[in-house]
């Protein structure tokens, strides 16, 4: 038989205090992951990334993260063809479109790199005929250049295919 010493039952105030302490004590430990800006922490081995530190050493990040700035709107510069010769010759009329008497204007968005080389061409407004649109896009990609160092890398041009009255 094992005898245990007698302990009187806890009083009401002691019981309330014990309940309050249990409620205040969180079930999981509070850990905050931050990257401190102070060089006061020295490591024997260099570390990369975040660091787990007591909250007394570093402040936690804000609850509401910063909103990223709105992207800048790129407005295309106007670009015209230079005629039969030059840096931007006029695209030839597609033979199939001539035979079918197709005509119209196609507006293109052209992206260029710093050296003036055309990187991409896309149709902004169609002529209504895929043959005319495709002919303009292909020709501009293969034969056009833009002046180097213009500051703008986005250009807009309109190519008009119009049948001549004979």
Which domain does 86 fall in, by range? Answer: 77-161
The percent of the chain in helix, strand and coil, each rounded to the nearest 5, is 20, 20, 60
Q: What CATH code is carried by the domain that includes residue 119?
A: 3.30.1150.10
Q: How far apart are CA 113 and CA 42, in angstroms?
A: 46
Q: How far apart are CA 129 and CA 104, in angstroms?
A: 8
Q: Is the residue at 99 inside a domain?
A: yes
Task: Give the angle 10-12-16 at the CA atoms, nearest 5°.
Answer: 100
Q: Write out pLDDT tens, residues 82-125.
A: 766 677 888 888 899 889 989 999 999 988 888 888 888 999 99
Q: Write out pLDDT tens, residues 25-84.
A: 556 666 666 665 655 656 556 666 666 666 666 676 667 767 777 666 667 778 777 766
Please give the tally of structural domains in the chain.
1
């Amino acid at each position: 038989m094992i005898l245990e010493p007698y302990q009187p039952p806890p009083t009401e105030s002691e019981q309330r205090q014990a309940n309050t302490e249990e409620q205040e004590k969180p079930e999981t430990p509070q850990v905050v992951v931050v990257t401190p800006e102070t060089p006061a922490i020295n490591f024997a081995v260099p570390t990369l990334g975040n660091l787990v530190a007591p909250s007394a050493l570093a402040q936690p990040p804000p609850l509401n993260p910063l909103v990223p700035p709105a992207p800048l709107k790129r407005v295309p510069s106007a670009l015209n063809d230079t005629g039969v010769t030059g840096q931007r010759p006029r695209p030839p009329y597609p033979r199939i479109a001539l035979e079918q008497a197709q005509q119209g204007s196609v507006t293109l968005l052209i992206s260029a790199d710093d050296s003036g080389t055309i990187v991409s061409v896309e149709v902004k407004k169609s002529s209504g005929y895929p043959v005319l649109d495709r002919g303009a896009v292909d020709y501009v990609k293969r034969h056009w250049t833009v002046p180097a160092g213009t500051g703008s890398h986005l250009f807009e041009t309109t190519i008009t295919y119009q049948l001549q009255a004979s």
